[in-house]
Structure 1
Amino acid sequence: PDSKVWRLYEVLLYRYVQRQSQLEVADQLGLSIRHLGRLETQAIQVLAERLRPALRPRPGDGGESTAAEEAGSLLTEELAWLSQSTPAETADSAAILRAVVDLVQPVATRHNVTIELAPCPPLMPLAVHPVALRQILLSLFGAAIRAAPGQRISITVTARPAEVEVRVRADRPAQPVADKSIAESLDMARRLAATFNGALAIDSSSEAQEAILTLPASGQVPVLAIDDNENTLQLFQRYATNTRYRLLPATSLAGALEVAREASPRIIVLDVMMPDIDGWEVLGRLRQHPLTGHVPIVVCTILAEEELALSLGAAGFVRKPVSREAFLSALDQACPVAPAAR
């Protein structure tokens, strides 16, 4: 096949089908992050051009009358995709919040609106897909700006034990604004938030207009990985980047028990092919140790011994070489996401 076309196909496959990170794809294809970014943009443009003829309505087929239904169907599909991808994704809420405020600043200037963002406290990662979080905030801030021309908008963030609250308060203009897009944007923000068990409440009873957005926090799951190969541990570390998992590496049993004592892992990933100690023995000792006996263990090895691993008490098994998708899937099975976190 044409090498340029094939490269674009690889970029789309690895980034958007297999959901690998930019760093992983750049390493795999031997590209810089900047070059990969340019290829992503080009690949999406090519795909859009190929799809456009198939999506263009034909004369007399009733396309105009069904436009709203198609939009609703597309939105439902997008929400389903975002919801399904939640277990493997977390959002850096503070960074995204600041980025979105910067993004809407030109719109605020056009409407003569002043945005005041209060200092943001340290926040836990959110159990919300980053794409969804950006759009929730964009819709909410955009609606607030359009509803309060010439006024001041204040944004405050509060960290709670299990959630983050974003409060947007706008001074009420002298004349109400008749703009149906305001209600549409708020509805979009509300639907997106609800997809991740969040909520958006609107309070218009006082002199100011106030929107209160609450989103669930997602504490990262500590994962103890035991492997004598530091390159493998670094690979697992990259796999865990931007997920709900926090990798804790160890190259020996003694080191693993020390990590377990300090960090209380909720999953253990164990290689059974280690030079200084029999990994199967390590599995047995971990199953009996008071620090780790209750922790599910995923055996990750080049050996084809899944039945043996499970019979010795392992909760899961993955065969090396392991892909990011398989690695994260094994972790998800060992530590399922509670329904409230989805």
Structure 2
Amino acid sequence: MLFEEFEVLVKESLSNLFDYAAMETTPLTALFATHSGQSGSKGEFLRKLILESIDTLKPNDKAFDANANEWRTYTILNQRYIENLNSLDVARNLSISERQLRRYQRKAVEALAYRLWDRYQAIYPEARQATPTSDSNIKEFIVNLEEINLWEVVSGVNKLLATTTSEDHVELKTQNNETLWMIESDRIILRQILIGLMNQFFQLLHEFETPNRLLTFSFFRDEEKTTLNIDAPIYIEAGILSNLHTPELKKNLSFWSQEINVQINENHSKEQNKSGLILEFPHPQKKLILVVDDQEPALRMYERYLSRTKLKIVGLTKPSKVVARAKELKPALIVLDIMMPKVDGWEVLQSLKLDEGTRNIPVIVCSAWGEPELATSLGAVGFLKKPVIQRDLLAIIQKLKILDD
């Protein structure tokens, strides 16, 4: 069975998760329940397996936050298929449009399908050759860049390949700990890249019959990038990448590494008798929002509200310096308070719109007074009534497409 066929079955099973008759007759039941050794309802076994797999999509190191990117996959699956909410309600809960929900839902179902696919591969090893690699799949696959923990992804792949490493007598050693190794990438694609590279290492270790079959994973981080080194105690003069065993793997690595913005380079040394690969993940350049408020607690509130977005917040308490600071920073958005001493927000807004260097920067006005019409007439693109609520702030930023690439 190809992965595409398998994913369709997962979608159908999700839609019928609490339809007992449908769960008993779905082909997924035959694939999993017949190998489970259990004697009860096969449909109930499959339902529990799906629910457990959804549960594994919870981030391990993050407190629950329905609006956080890390929780989005789990939240969508839980609300749509377990709580059985309609699309409109889920979109409202997540402060996103229905169109965005459809896109994220496809990714969520796909992520779940891959979790179940891993289980399927363990039962049917030949399925490992049926992962999505064709040109048509490449064109149709939707890349979902999000903040993920590189250490967790590597550890998860190591667990997935535990049977293979045991059979080939390969030892995996992960250095450093699980904290701080956050990157922006697509979890599913990165897992496939790592699986392909590790299988390449396994084959080379087997071919060269090295007695010390150890793969070491090391993590490094600086201001510009996070780096993963994968090293093996064997010297291959031509390098790892030039020895890729199939043209398909070479093509996929070349294509997908560009899609998720990871650079893969050789790292081998004859003197140290080692060959390895360096995977570099550049840190994303965050869009900047200039928040103008004379109260420091308010600035910290905005930082907290937007802490899980890809936005960098710069606070400014002196309204007289807004125009100069905006010219210097060139922010994607200015959030402007009205009630400030000496120079109020209306004067600042007028100055911004009269200056050629700042007039095109979108401004959101925040005020305890209900004056959205005045804000619009002076050139603001949005109005938030104080006290500002996180959901309202995220909604207007989403509407302005500030979070879009």
In structure 2, how many angstroms separate the alpha carbons of the residues matched to 1:201 and 1:146? Answer: 19
| Per-residue CA distance 1:24-45 (angstroms, 9 max, x = gap) | 459xxxxx99x95872584599
1:36/1:68 CA distance change after superposition, 3 Å: closer
Note if 1:217 corresponds to 2:270: no
Note if 1:243 corresponds to 2:305: no
CA contact (8 A) 2:244 2:250 kept: no
CA contact (8 A) 1:222 1:266 kept: yes
Note if 1:104 corresponds to 2:157: yes
2:363 corresponds, among 276, 298, 303, to 298
1:105/1:279 CA distance change after superposition, 3 Å: same
Code of the residue aligned with 1:332 in structure 2: it is I
2:256 aligns with 192
CA contact (8 A) 1:190 1:200 kept: no
1:77 aligns with 140
Code of the residue aligned with 1:318 in structure 2: it is G
Note if 1:39 corresponds to 2:78: yes
CA RMSD in angstroms comes to 5.6
| Per-residue CA distance 1:241-266 (angstroms, 9 max, x = gap) | 3332123456x546997xx69x9683
1:99 Cα deviation (Å)? 0.7
In structure 1, how many angstroms separate the alpha carbons of the residues matched to 2:251 and 2:186? Answer: 18
In structure 1, how many angstroms separate the alpha carbons of the residues matched to 2:200 and 2:302? Answer: 41
Note if 1:156 corresponds to 2:218: yes
CA contact (8 A) 2:336 2:345 kept: yes
In structure 1, how many angstroms separate the alpha carbons of the residues matched to 2:199 and 2:132? Answer: 24
In structure 1, how many angstroms separate the alpha carbons of the residues matched to 2:178 and 2:352? Answer: 38
What are structure 2's unaligned runs of at least 5 residues?
1-14, 19-62, 86-104, 114-129, 207-211, 237-242, 386-391
In structure 2, how many angstroms separate the alpha carbons of the residues matched to 1:68 and 1:100? Answer: 18
In structure 2, how many angstroms separate the alpha carbons of the residues matched to 1:228 and 1:130? Answer: 41
In structure 2, how many angstroms separate the alpha carbons of the residues matched to 1:121 and 1:288? Answer: 50
CA contact (8 A) 2:235 2:268 kept: no
1:324 corresponds, among 394, 397, 400, to 394
CA contact (8 A) 2:219 2:229 kept: yes
1:11 aligns with none
1:303 Cα deviation (Å)? 0.9
User: Within 5 Å, which residues of 2 pair with 1:176-187?
Assistant: 187=251
Code of the residue aligned with 2:372 in structure 1: it is L
1:230/1:78 CA distance change after superposition, 3 Å: farther
1:303/1:78 CA distance change after superposition, 3 Å: same
Count residues in correspondence: 271
CA contact (8 A) 2:292 2:319 kept: no
1:216/1:70 CA distance change after superposition, 3 Å: closer
1:57 aligns with none
Code of the residue aligned with 1:169 in structure 2: it is D
1:167 Cα deviation (Å)? 2.6
Note if 1:308 corresponds to 2:344: no
2:121 aligns with none
Note if 1:116 corresponds to 2:173: yes
Length-normalised TM-score, structure 1: 0.53
In structure 2, how many angstroms separate the alpha carbons of the residues matched to 1:40 and 1:142? Answer: 37
Note if 1:168 corresponds to 2:226: no
Code of the residue aligned with 2:402 in structure 1: it is D
2:33 aligns with none
Larger mean Cα displacement after TM superposition, 97-106 or 129-138: 129-138
1:14 aligns with none
In structure 1, how many angstroms separate the alpha carbons of the residues matched to 2:79 and 2:201? Answer: 33
1:147/1:187 CA distance change after superposition, 3 Å: farther
| Per-residue CA distance 1:135-172 (angstroms, 9 max, x = gap) | 54454345434653671112234446644443322234
1:23 aligns with 65
1:101 Cα deviation (Å)? 2.9
1:280 aligns with 346
- Per the alignment, in what secondary structure is the counterpart of residue 23 of structure 1? coil
1:194 Cα deviation (Å)? 0.7
What are structure 1's unaligned runs of at least 5 residues?
9-20, 27-31, 53-66, 338-342
Code of the residue aligned with 2:185 in structure 1: it is V
| Per-residue CA distance 1:205-231 (angstroms, 9 max, x = gap) | 966442232332224344232358999
CA contact (8 A) 1:223 1:265 kept: no
Q: Percent identity?
A: 16
In structure 2, how many angstroms separate the alpha carbons of the residues matched to 1:126 and 1:69? Answer: 24
1:293/1:205 CA distance change after superposition, 3 Å: same
